[in-house]
Structure 1
Amino acid sequence: MKRTTTAFLGTSVLALVAAASLGTGSASAHPSPAGRGADRTVTLSAQLDELNGSGASGTATATVRNQNIQNIDVHAHGLTPDAPHAQHIHYGQEALNECPTLALDDNNDGRINTVEGIPAYGPVVVSLNTTGDTTPASFLDVTRFPVSDDGSYHYSRDNIAFTRVAGTGYTGGGGTAKQIADSIREGEGVLVIHGVDYNGNGIYDFEGAGASELDPNLPAEATDPAVCGVLKVDN
């Protein structure tokens, strides 16, 4: 399959990701953040380390105030060259809110796919697109994610609003923008970049790892996580 430049978005896929986060039974539940001044401005940073032997790495910084990401910058390198890379902030009230390890490789195929990683990093709460909608509804709209230039990209975007996200594990039908923003501000958000060229042929195809668990019409190379880092509070 040639590099995908077509949006691959489906409500059924979104439902799958949300349902997977609720069905894990993993992780100890996190108490709702006390707030510690919900209107305070917090700077978060993450060291992005490789997953699935991608060889990729990077850094991210974000400034969060109220229910808004005032600015976020992502610098990544070592990615699949000249290919789109979906990137998101993940969070789940019942997730570990950390990067996954091969201990979550349920089918023992030697790699972590997106759904297998959900007990660790939780469902998508923000899509880090270059333009337009940044809600989880856009989590696989590849036409609006960064494309690596020779394996690297520098992403920056301002004024990203948190929104209500169902399936984030809060009791009583929660998952409000305020609850999620408070949790991210407490240092529990996980930034994940997807896209791994397993067979090294320069494109996302089915030869490397078969079909994606999110959509059988997509190669797993396009959706598997490549790098991950926790957005921690700067001291």
Structure 2
Amino acid sequence: MVKRAGRRLAVIATVPAAVFLTLGLSGAALAEGGKAYQIDLAELNDSGSRGTVMLSLKGNQLTVQIESEGMVPGQPSAQHLHGSTKGHDFHCPDASDDKNRDGILNNTEATVDYGDINISLTTTGDTKATSGLAVERMPVADKQGKVSYERTITVGQDVVEHIKDLHVVQHGIDRNNNDKYDFEGAGKSELDPKLPQEATAPTNCGEVKGAAVGSIPVGGIETGGGTAQSAAMPIVMVAGVAVVVYAVTAGAIAVGRKRVAVLPGRTQTPGGAA
């Protein structure tokens, strides 16, 4: 499981029936009529990278929180929301998209599946698609290869209406295992010959498969290079905090002295009916 830092993603309970994540910021957004969506990032290019993303939407203010690991230590990680706000069906790629069979899924090959950049998840400055390769404004992994990111962005109504059609992709691999991006690992990037391919190849991807308060988890999805993930992550409020429920089965979890029963098809609150 990915380690969560600070208040961003703190695990408060781990039991066979369910795993809960608390996200104070998302809880505030939901309490004021916002929506929140969970994303699990699965590795691409055998990178070993994985992570968790939370998207909190209040009006046209989108807060993006990312905690990932297995990134290249000390190197910037270009990251974006990919996909379409025009109804096109995009999804995370897998190894079969490596059309030239060189053993590396490059960004051009993967874009066929996950679509063009919609929002560049930079740390400062603009978040336009044209900033997709602004590596100097992208988050840098720490010495353990972990990336922690949080930023609130003003988005257009098209993003608000189609947020579940977008996905998060992080970039940056270390093909020759020397803890840096270089041209020896995989040659030049097809996007910019001044950059190594290692710097622009996707390292993980996750689809926005969340749901607002009251939704029920259904089915499963496949993310690129990963295993089946929950197709909908319902979010409920417990003591004013947003709680994401994974793999829900019949049963009850005690929170403090109150009990919250989560049953297939309904949510029971303390002292009240479904």
User: Fold-level match, TM-score > 0.5?
Assistant: yes
- Name which of 178, 186, 189 aligns with 1:201: 178
- Name which of 147, 169, 178 aligns with 1:153: 147
The answer to whether the aligner puts 1:144 opposite 2:140 as a matched pair is: no
- Name which of 20, 23, 35 aligns with 1:42: 35
Counterparts in 2 of 1:95 and 1:212: CA distance versus 1, 3 Å: farther
Q: Greater strand percent: which structure? A: 2
- Name which of 161, 165, 169 aligns with 1:182: 161
Match of 2:66 in 1: 74
CA distance in 1, matches of 2:191, 2:88: 19
RMSD: 1.7
Match of 2:257 in 1: none
* Structure label with greater radius of gyration: 2
Q: Which amino acid aligns with 1:217?
A: K
The answer to whether the aligner puts 1:123 opposite 2:102 as a matched pair is: no
Contact persistence 1:95–1:121 (CA under 8 A): no
Q: Which amino acid aligns with 1:198?
A: R
* Cα shift at 1:77: 0.6
Contact persistence 1:96–1:119 (CA under 8 A): no
Q: Which amino acid aligns with 1:227?
A: N
Pairs aligned (count)? 179
Unaligned runs of 5+ in 2: 1-32, 211-232, 235-274
Match of 1:174 in 2: none
Counterparts in 2 of 1:45 and 1:225: CA distance versus 1, 3 Å: same
Contact persistence 1:97–1:120 (CA under 8 A): yes
* Cα shift at 1:203: 1.4
Contact persistence 2:106–2:201 (CA under 8 A): yes
Alignment deviations for residues 118-175 of structure 1 (CA, whole Å, 9 cap, x no partner): 12111111111111111112111111111000200211112x022xxxxxxxxxxxxx
SS in 1 for 2:108: coil
Contact persistence 1:97–1:230 (CA under 8 A): no
CA distance in 1, matches of 2:146, 2:34: 29
Match of 2:50 in 1: 57
* Cα shift at 1:111: 1.8
TM score, norm. by length of structure 2 = 0.62
Counterparts in 2 of 1:135 and 1:178: CA distance versus 1, 3 Å: same
CA distance in 2, matches of 1:180, 1:154: 23
Q: Greater helix percent: which structure? A: 1
* Cα shift at 1:67: 3.1
Moved more, 103-112 or 73-82: 103-112
Contact persistence 2:119–2:129 (CA under 8 A): yes
Unaligned runs of 5+ in 1: 1-39, 163-176
Match of 1:89 in 2: 81
Counterparts in 2 of 1:141 and 1:87: CA distance versus 1, 3 Å: same
SS in 1 for 2:208: strand
Match of 1:37 in 2: none
* Cα shift at 1:95: 5.0
TM score, norm. by length of structure 1 = 0.72
